[in-house]
Amino acid sequence: MNWSLFFDLTVSGLTLGSLYALIALGYSMVYGILKLLNFAHGDVYMIGAFMGWFALHGLGGPISPDVGAWIVTALMFLAAMAGCGVLGVVIERFAYRPLRDAPRIAPLISALGVSFFLQNSALLLFGAAFRDYDSFDLIGVRTRHVGNVYLATPQILTVIGAIVLMIALTLVVARTTVGKAMRATSFDREAAAMMGIDVDRVISFTFFIGSALAGAAGVMFGLVFGQIYHYMGFIAGLKGFTAAVIGGIGSIPGAMLGGLAVGLLESYATGYLPQGSTFQNLYVFAVLIAVILVRPSGLLGRAAIQKV
Amino acid sequence: MVDLPERPDALQTPRVGVDEWVAAHEERVGRRTGLPGLIERGWNWLPPFGKLAVCVVPAALLPLLMSEENLARYAVYTLFYALMGLGLNIVVGFSGLLDLGYIAFVGFGAYGYGILASTQFGNHWQAELAIPVVTVATAILGLLVGLPSRRLVGDYLAIVTLFFGQAFVVFVNNANRISFPHFGHVDLTGGANGLANIDPLNLFGYHVSSTRQYYYVALIAFALLVSALYFANESRTGRAWRALREDPLAAESMTIPVNRLKLMAFAFGAGVAGFTGAIYGSFQTGAFPGDYDVGLLITIYAVVILGGTGSLAGVALGAIIINCAPELLRSQHDASLLFYGVILVTILAKVRPWRLCAAFLAALVGFGFAVHAIADAAWPRLTAGHAQASGFLKGPIEAWVLLPRHPVKIADFAYVILIAAILLVTQLHGWRRLAVLVPTLYLAAMVWENLLVGQTAGATRLILLGALLVALMNARPQGLLGTARVEIV
């Protein structure tokens, strides 16, 4: 067995998996609280990548940034996360909140509309050409050797960044008052409202957090893969949702696990399976079907008990 | 105390999916007056086949009035959208299953017909044989996709089918490189180049080749399908589907075989999709992977949702709107006319009384000229550009709208501000809304002239489609001709 190839695939799988996990968290939290499949989430991620790009170029560009390279990177993350968070809140406020009591299909269609709108607005405003992050100019080309494994700086940054964000999220959900309110709302929205929880505000907060994570994932994608474009949100959103479903939708550790699983799976499929680079999505799809058939509630999800 | 309906036998007819109270209430409140009311009552008075005749007979005369090119753009594609919408309506409208892989079935139909009747394999089947084979094959495929999905509820089904649609696109894109164990290398779908040279329909030795002939074929198919679906919807199965849509749990406890009905809906919808796909593929004389992607899926969803899920007439209406409006947007001149026309008509219809309406229009025009004059005096560069419009619109637009010499950046910012302004307008009421609406509309005209009008064939149409979906869901979640449903808790 070629161990060097295996470790390279593992590293790229973990990188990809971190991105998917961050996207999946947004999906999972929104689904857990609203039972809504937020199709526009992938496009929020795309907008996040563009916001990071604009922040980078607003600060002097990758070759001669106005401040230190690491400060620029941090500001890119900050801009994308804040911008996407606000975008998510606005989307919820105008496209989903009026439909909260409508039949289930209405907010889904509304979400499809938002997705279409965001994607084509990006096409209109940013053009169809790819934009380059030039992250090598920004944070260096230095690759590290660990044994005979190569690690590029953006990859390390992505994995560590994702872990930090996930720990922060877990703490927010587990330890703070608003996290408690989120858990209560996702458990039973009506009962939570009767207990004096401002459900609208909790939902807005959920959208803010989920979209901010997607924005961070967008910037990470730009740093790792270099190129961003207006259509990148669709397939990433699909993978993110797959990750959420595989891990067990509504469960935060499940989304993390699912994201890593999908990323690793995709990476290994590319490396080992026949025609893997072409059909990687089909392999992911096959695993999704298998997981749903064996454990419909996902790996870490709890089967919902339906009360009548 | 329940108000009994006026007709004593009204309670005898099973009306699954319509809440009696809501229906009675809507009848009292929603009774319209004047011309719309007359049309509505006339429409409701017609028997089902009268309705079909009212739609189909004028449509049959269309080819006499239109050129071949216009017929293809406006009429034939409308019919194809309607046909695809009818199939989707079975799955989404009748039985309430969210199938986001629907368009793959249409693609399967087109590719299947292409394999049976094109130069790819040298097969040239007669259409009367090929179309049923393709239809049945697609229905079986629908059954197979439905099998793992039958355990899935709501959104899980959506994601699995969405992935299925993606898998289909990936597959047809790459199927030219697959080697099969026994047959060796077979180029099944032509890969990214697609299947070109699909035969025109050859029905019982009669060659359908011109646009006009295709139009009639599609129209006949539409009439037949609508009739068949009408009966299906009124049948035992149709009622069971609606029961399933309303409440799967209650339906199951009433001994309705939920799983079997789901599979049936899937297979029926897929069959209609395959049927449509076969005709569509032969009309386009080719099948290409990009055609059966999410873009078309969302368009067909828009057709069904806009018209009203579950309503057959709604599908036809939705197809007309969704196909013809973007087609009009393709030409810049027509697009501008449509844009300003819709705004003007909406103002005239919505702002009452007429004195307020006149004052509003005057304020709008005055505001525009004032802004233009100020900009002209202070920053001449802001008005130095030229309108892209032609004809009688050019003069007024250049005198009224801000047209910067280098519009790109300014227009981008204006676009973002415009979205914010529109969102703000939806939150205001009364005179505040009207006051904010004046600069918003002016801004809209500016964005339109500087940014959107240049992209009418591409991004603009899709942006407007997306915005339309969101707005419609907010205003009327049940669609134009759908009936409101009440969730009973």
* pLDDT band for position B132 (cuts 50, 70, 90): very high
Residue A250 has pLDDT above 60, yes or no: yes
Residue B332 has pLDDT above 50, yes or no: yes
Residues A285-296 have a mean pLDDT of 80
Which residue's structure tokens are 């997981």?
A291
* Closest-CA residue to A29 (of A241, A300, A305, A294): A241
Nearest to A117 among B249, B305, B466 (CB): B466
pLDDT value of residue B108 = 93
B273-319 pLDDT tens trace: 999 999 998 888 888 888 888 878 888 988 888 888 778 888 888 88
Instruction: Look up the domain containing A53 and give its range.
Output: 9-294
Instruction: Flag whether A95 is in a domain.
Output: yes
pTM of the model: 0.85
pLDDT value of residue B485 = 62
d(CA B194, CA B285): 11
Asked if A106's CB is within 8 angstroms of B462's CB, the reply is no
ipTM: 0.82
Instruction: Flag whether A303 is in a domain.
Output: no
Instruction: Flag whether A307 is in a domain.
Output: no
A17-59 pLDDT tens trace: 999 999 999 988 988 888 888 889 999 999 999 999 999 888 8
Asked if B463's CB is within 8 angstroms of A120's CB, the reply is yes
B90 CB burial (10 A radius; 0-12, 13-18, 19+): buried
pLDDT value of residue A304 = 61
Q: Give φ, ψ of A69 to 5 degrees.
A: -60, -40
Instruction: Flag whether A130 is in a domain.
Output: yes
B138-187 pLDDT tens trace: 999 999 888 876 666 666 777 778 888 888 888 888 877 766 666 666 77
Asked if B166's CB is within 8 angstroms of A238's CB, the reply is yes
Nearest to A123 among B162, B459, B468 (CB): B459
Task: Please state which of the ranges A16-20, A134-138, A149-153 shows the lowest mean pLDDT.
Answer: A134-138
CA-nearest residue to B469 within chain A is A113
Asked if A278's CB is within 8 angstroms of B466's CB, the reply is no
Write out chain B residues lying below 8 Å of A110, CB-based: 469-470, 473-474
Instruction: Flag whether A2 is in a domain.
Output: no
Q: How many domains does chain A have?
A: 1
Other C-beta atoms lying within 10 Å of the C-beta of residue B47: 8
Write out chain B residues lying below 8 Å of A37, CB-based: 155, 158-159
Instruction: Flag whether A208 is in a domain.
Output: yes
pLDDT value of residue A218 = 94
Asked if B174's CB is within 8 angstroms of A279's CB, the reply is yes
Q: Give DSSP secondary structure letters for A113-146.
A: HHHHHHHHHHHHHH-SS-EE--HHHHH--PEEEE
Q: Round to the nearest angstrom and report the end-to-end CA distance of chain A.
A: 55
Residue B250 has pLDDT above 90, yes or no: no
* pLDDT band for position B8 (cuts 50, 70, 90): very low
CB A44 within 8 A of CB A214: yes
Mean pLDDT taken over chain A? 86
Instruction: Flag whether A142 is in a domain.
Output: yes
Range(s) of chain B covered by CATH 1.10.3470: 48-331
Residue B260 has pLDDT above 80, yes or no: yes
d(CA B349, CA B361): 12
Alpha-carbon gap: B152 to the closest alpha carbon of chain A (Å)? 8
B76-116 pLDDT tens trace: 899 999 999 999 999 988 888 888 889 999 999 999 988 88
Name every residue whose Cβ is closer than 8 Å to that of residue A220 and which is 6 or more positions away in sequence: A18, A19, A22, A154, A157, A158, A161, A162
Which CATH number is correct for B48-331, 1.10.1060, 3.30.1560, 1.10.3470, 3.30.70? Answer: 1.10.3470
CATH of the domain at A226: 1.10.3470
